[in-house]
Amino acid sequence: MKQQSLGEFEELVLLMVAALHDEAYGVAILENLEDKLKKKVNISAVHVALKRIEDKGFVKSRFGGITEDRGGRRKKFYVITALGKRMLDAQYVLRNSIYKQIPKISFG
Amino acid sequence: MNEGPPKRALQFLRWFCREDYLEEIEGDLTEVFKKHFENSPDKAKWKFVLSVLKYFRPEFMKSFKSYQTNANGMYKSYFKVGWRNLIREKGYSFINIGGLALGIAVVMLIGLWVHDELTFDKLQENYNQVAAVLQNNTVDGTIETWSSQSYQLGLELRNNYGSYFKHVAMSTFPSSSILADKEKAFSAVGTFMEADGPEVLSLNMVHGMRSGLKDPTSILLSASLAATFFGTDNPVGKVLKLDNDLDLKVAGVYRNIPNNSSFRGELSFIAPLEIIVNRGGRSFGWVNNWLQVFVQVNENVDMQQASLAIKDAKIKNVNENDKRFKPELFLYPMSRWHLYSEFKGGVNTGGRIDFVRLFGSIGVFVLLLGCINFMNLSTARSQKRSKEIGVRKVIGSGRGQLVRQFFVESLLVVMIAFIFSLLLVYLSLPLFNNIAGKNIQINWTRPSLWLVLITSIFLITFVSGSYPSLYLSAFSPIKVLKGTFKVGRYASLPRKALVVVQFTVSVILIIGTIVVYQQIQYAKNRPIGYDLNGLITVPIKTKDVKRNYTGLRNELLASGKFSEVSASETTITNLWWSDWGFQWRGKDPSLQDNIYRGAVDYEFGKTVGWKIKDGRDFSREFSSDSTAMILNEAAVKYMGLDNPVGENIRAYGRNYTVIGVVEDMVTQSLYESNKQTVFVIDPFNNANFINLKISPHSSASEAIEALNKIFVRHNPGTPFEYKFADDEFADKFSFEVRVGRLVGIFAGLAVFISCLGLFGLASFVAEQRTKEIGIRKVLGASVSGLWQMLSRDFVILVIIACGIAIPIGYYFTTHWLQQYDYRTEITVWVFFATAAGALVITLLTVSFQALKAALINPVNSLKTE
């Protein structure tokens, strides 16, 4: 398997998709991210990230039903794939192992 | 608070965004917008616009190129589908293509004709600098425009106005002369010109020089005349005898004058004017007009300016008495010679340009008729293709693609029609040339021709294809495919309007044709006052003929083939010579008289068979008859004489006594009123023609044979020529006959094309209503009732068309007739007959289909499907 890279924001979005499991669509992801990051995020950035991780095969998508709020447009829901989950796991393990190598440093 | 996101931004997003992303992006954006909107509407709008702009990057954009990548394939498919449709619907295709091909062929022929007319004289090198000098004279209170000038004027222009002109050349009017070398003698039409003439005409010399004419014993020959005398040899230096009188040296040979030149047929040779001057018999005063004066203005001189400058060149030089005619000179540029040749009241009033416009518009209309057929049949048959359109749309064809598809189909039809029309033009060109009196050739290798053809292919495609393609591509796929598609009641309205246009044009053309023919017929039946039957004229071209006249006459009479022989200055069919200065008792002193003259001899009246109304004919028995005068009725009226016989009239410097009055005769244009004319025994010994009346006991061919033998025996050096007076008379209306024939042909084609279209529409309607007709028949409708039902619609359309066409036709034809003094009245029956004719043709066209539909056995028509 080719080594896939994952950008920082992409990783955040992927994490959020996994966290929101089955309820993850553009606006939900956006709001939860803003909530967690405590800063404004533009929806277009979320979409760009979603498209990229979908292209890399980490998420897959399906259309939901029509809702009135959206001017008659359907929601597009994202679900994490096995590959995406593995990627997240690998990232987590990698970071954890490196983190554990940090000597006990005290900053006062 | 039900406001949506900014419209423009949304439109923009929809325009550029990938279709597969649009759903999600637009939905999310809208949702975000709604949430923000509750807090602060303005900020929400800004944010929305900003976000939209952030999507404007390659990842989210649709590929605008994707259409082109497979476009060739699509076009190929369009052609294929179009072709299959043509093959499947052979009848309709035939009507479409046939109508268009006819229309295009008509336009091409007319276009060639118009092009020929518009480029007339343009081959002349100095086209923009050459002009003829014309004069306006006020005679009897009306301004007349003459092209003839005096010898003095040429000298005056050269000497005192030389700064304006590069060349001034006087020239005689073309006349025929006899040229002979040792063995051969031919009569040829040419002019006598001053030495600058060949420069003004910019003759293309084959041998010799233009300046050759400077030698007063020289002559220039056209290539064809040179070839008849000398074959392919270089004739320069050879000697020809002119009119059995004068030896002239050939100084040059020029290329034949092209057919589209005002000088065509007039310049077989050019000889120096000095010959005529030295020959005598001409007057050289300021008021003796017998020459044409051509000028070429200097390059830096404005034609208009030069024209104004010479305005008074004549009036300054004539005596007090002649100043009353107020002669004003002006330049008549070559560019206007051909198309603007008519003058009324001293003002140029057009001329052939009217016919160029007339035929041009006829051509466009006939083509339009063909295009209308195409439009009507395409839209009428739209239901047949509605399913195809529906399926195409559902599969994803955009409207633009459908429009393109139908344009391609029209292009296909137009191209096929074009090929047929080229063939038609090629085949009919000789016939057309014959009727139009032209010699038009098509130069297929000229790129500009092909440019015009290809442009017109696209233009015609656009005109005929735009309406159907817009109409057909607008179908809603849901309605069409559900099967509930019904064209509304008014859907056929444009079609009906177009049919009305077609028939309006056709009916106008028919009315025009009938009126032109009536006018010609009316003029032909005009009482002419003399007997054309068996009347022959022989021109007197050499002095020998004049000298030998008495002997010739006696022998001709003795042959028994001729009942009378006489000599005259002009022929009876064309008495054109007029004079003024007549004096008679009771003449209004202020009248500027102008009276035509017939200088004849004693037997002239008997030869032509004129009818003496009062008094007696000339007779050799009265020695006083050399000063006798016979008036025509118009002259009696003109002079206001109550009892003309016995009156004294002073004319031509002598005193005349009126001995008789003849009935009016048509001696000039058939369409003008009879001119006041006096007949006298030729006072100038100026006989130019011998008139012969074939004896009733002899046939024309025998008489001509005898005449030839006797004439040649008496005049061995003079070629024998003769004309039948009735042929010359026919020339008087040859132009009108030509116009009538052309308009008639175009009218016929217009009617034919319109009927083709009607036939197609009728068959379509009949086919569409097959079931209805079947049910009606089952319920007891009669064949005649059904026939009425199917024909009624079309008949109404044609009646409307007649209603529109009749006033327009009336307006144009009365306008056209105004130009003739002697004209027919337009009677009501012309319009009735035209309308009736149009209706009959319509019924015949429609009935075929209507009856076919009405006669179908309902069992057959109802069991389909």
Q: Which of B24, B37, B59 would best serve as a mutation to test chain A binding (most A beta carbons within 10 A)?
A: B24
Q: Angle B71-88/B90-118 helices, nearest 10 degrees?
A: 110
Q: Which of A25, A70, A76, A77 would best serve as a mutation to test chain B binding (most B beta carbons within 10 A)?
A: A70
Query: By three-state DSSP, how is residue B307 classified?
Result: helix
Question: Is A34 within a domain?
Answer: yes
The partner residue sitting opposite B51, judged by closest CB among A27, A43, A73, is A43
Predicted pLDDT at A106:
73
Query: By three-state DSSP, how is residue B690 classified?
Result: strand
Looking up tokens 């066209």 gives: B845
What range defines the domain where residue A54 resides? 8-100
CB atoms B24 and A42 under 8 Å: no
CB atoms A51 and B59 under 8 Å: yes
Q: Which helix (H) or strand (E) segment is B809 a member of?
A: helix B783-817
Share of chain B above pLDDT 90, in %: 21
Predicted pLDDT at A1:
43
Q: How far is CA B558 from CA B565, B608, B712, in A?
A: 11, 19, 16
**A positions 28-47 inside 8 Å of B (CB):** 30, 42-45, 47
Q: Which residues of B touch A25 (CB under 8 A)?
A: 24, 28
- Per-residue exposure over B123-139, b if at least 16 CB sit within 10 Å of its own CB, e if not: ebebeebbbbbbbbbbb
Instruction: Give B116-132 pLDDT, tens digit per residue.
Output: 888 888 888 888 899 99
- The average pLDDT across B307-321 equals 87
Neighbours of B300 (CB within 10 A): 5
Q: How far is CA A93 from CA A14, A53, A90, in A?
A: 16, 20, 5
CB atoms A69 and B31 under 8 Å: yes
Q: Which of A10, A17, A27 would best serve as a mutation to test chain B binding (most B beta carbons within 10 A)?
A: A27
**Distance between terminal CA atoms of chain B?**
57
CB atoms A74 and B27 under 8 Å: yes
CB pairs under 8 A between A and B: 59
Q: Which residues pair with B351 in a beta bridge?
A: none
Instruction: Give B686-701 pLDDT, tens digit per residue.
Output: 788 999 999 888 888 8
- The average pLDDT across B430-443 equals 86
Question: Is A90 within a domain?
Answer: yes
CA angle, corner A37, sides to A34 and A38, nearest 5? 70
φ/ψ bin of B468: left (φ > 0), alpha (ψ from -120 to 50), beta (otherwise): alpha
Q: Which helix (H) or strand (E) segment is B610 a member of?
A: none
**Residue B497: is its pLDDT beyond 70?**
yes
Phi, psi of B124 (to 5 degrees): -65, 135
Give the gap in angstroms from C-alpha B56 to the nearest C-alpha of chain A: 10
Residue A92 contacts B, CB cutoff 8 Å: no
Q: Which residues of B touch A27 (CB under 8 A)?
A: 28, 31-32, 35
Question: Is A41 within a domain?
Answer: yes
Q: Which helix (H) or strand (E) segment is B241 a member of?
A: strand B239-242
Q: Which of A35, A73, A75 would best serve as a mutation to test chain B binding (most B beta carbons within 10 A)?
A: A73
Q: Which residues pair with B185 in a beta bridge?
A: B180
Give the gap in angstroms from C-alpha B386 to the nearest C-alpha of chain A: 31
CB atoms B28 and A26 under 8 Å: yes
Question: Is A49 within a domain?
Answer: yes
Cβ B845 vs Cβ B503: under 8 Å: no
Question: Is A78 within a domain?
Answer: yes
CA–CA gap between residue B63 and residue B61 (Å, rounded): 6
Predicted pLDDT at B634:
92
CB atoms A73 and B24 under 8 Å: yes
CB atoms B29 and A43 under 8 Å: yes
What are B195's two structure tokens? Answer: 């030495």
What are B394's two structure tokens? Answer: 């559902």
C-alpha dihedral, B640 to B645 to B646 to B651, nearest 10°: 60
Count the helices and strands in chain B (H runs, E runs). 30, 26
| B664: Cβ contacts below 8 Å, ≥ 6 apart | B529, B632, B633, B634, B674
Integer-rounded Cα Rg, in Å, for chain A is 16
Instruction: Give B608-659 pLDDT, tens digit per residue.
Output: 999 999 899 998 888 888 889 999 999 999 998 888 898 899 988 889 999 9
Average pLDDT of chain B to the nearest whole number: 87
CA angle, corner B585, sides to B579 and B591, nearest 5? 50
Question: Is A2 within a domain?
Answer: no
**Residue B677: is its pLDDT beyond 50?**
yes
Instruction: Please state the ipTM of this predicted complex.
Output: 0.86
DSSP B485: -
Predicted pLDDT at B427:
93
Give the β-pairing of B723-724 and B535-539.
antiparallel
Cβ B458 vs Cβ B373: under 8 Å: no
What are B99's two structure tokens? Answer: 């109508």
| Structure confidence at residue B47 as a pLDDT band (50, 70, 90) | confident
Q: Which CATH number goes with the domain that contains A78?
A: 1.10.10.10
Neighbours of B241 (CB within 10 A): 16
Predicted pLDDT at B1:
44
CB atoms B30 and A69 under 8 Å: yes
CA angle, corner B757, sides to B752 and B760, nearest 5? 125
In this structure, which amino acid lies at residue B60? Answer: F
Domain ranges within chain B, ordered by starting residue: 7-64, 130-337, 354-522+734-863, 535-725
Cβ A87 vs Cβ A1: under 8 Å: no
Q: Angle B19-39/B41-54 helices, nearest 10 degrees?
A: 160
Question: Is A35 within a domain?
Answer: yes
- The average pLDDT across B444-462 equals 89
Find the largest Cα–Cα distance for chain A: 58
CA B561 to chain centre: 43
DSSP A3: P
Instruction: Give A6-30 pLDDT, tens digit per residue.
Output: 888 888 999 999 998 888 888 889 9
Q: Which residues of A touch B23 (CB under 8 A)?
A: 63, 73-74, 76
Give the gap in angstroms from C-alpha B23 to the nearest C-alpha of chain A: 6
**Residue B188: is its pLDDT beyond 50?**
yes
Give the gap in angstroms from C-alpha A28 to the nearest C-alpha of chain B: 9
Predicted pLDDT at B566:
92
The partner residue sitting opposite A74, judged by closest CB among B23, B35, B60, is B23
Share of chain B above pLDDT 70, in %: 98
Looking up tokens 């190929």 gives: B76
**Residue B590: is its pLDDT beyond 90?**
no
Q: Which of A13, A29, A44 would best serve as a mutation to test chain B binding (most B beta carbons within 10 A)?
A: A44
| Structure confidence at residue A64 as a pLDDT band (50, 70, 90) | confident
Q: Which helix (H) or strand (E) segment is B736 a member of?
A: helix B734-768
CA–CA gap between residue B721 and residue B537 (Å, rounded): 9
**Residue in B closest to A40 by C-alpha:** B47
Instruction: Give B201-218 pLDDT, tens digit per residue.
Output: 888 898 888 888 888 899
Residue A85 contacts B, CB cutoff 8 Å: no
CA–CA gap between residue B730 and residue B712 (Å, rounded): 28
Integer-rounded Cα Rg, in Å, for chain B is 38
**Residue B2: is its pLDDT beyond 80?**
no
Give the gap in angstroms from C-alpha B18 to the nearest C-alpha of chain A: 12
Q: Per mean pLDDT, which range of B56-65, B163-172, B717-726 is the poorest?
A: B56-65
Find the largest Cα–Cα distance for chain B: 130
Predicted pLDDT at B485:
58
The pTM (predicted TM-score) of the whole model is 0.72
CB atoms A71 and B30 under 8 Å: yes
Instruction: Give B547-576 pLDDT, tens digit per residue.
Output: 888 888 998 899 888 999 999 988 888 888
Residue A13 contacts B, CB cutoff 8 Å: no
Cβ B49 vs Cβ B6: under 8 Å: yes
**Residue in B closest to A41 by C-alpha:** B51
Question: Is A64 within a domain?
Answer: yes
Cβ A59 vs Cβ A21: under 8 Å: no
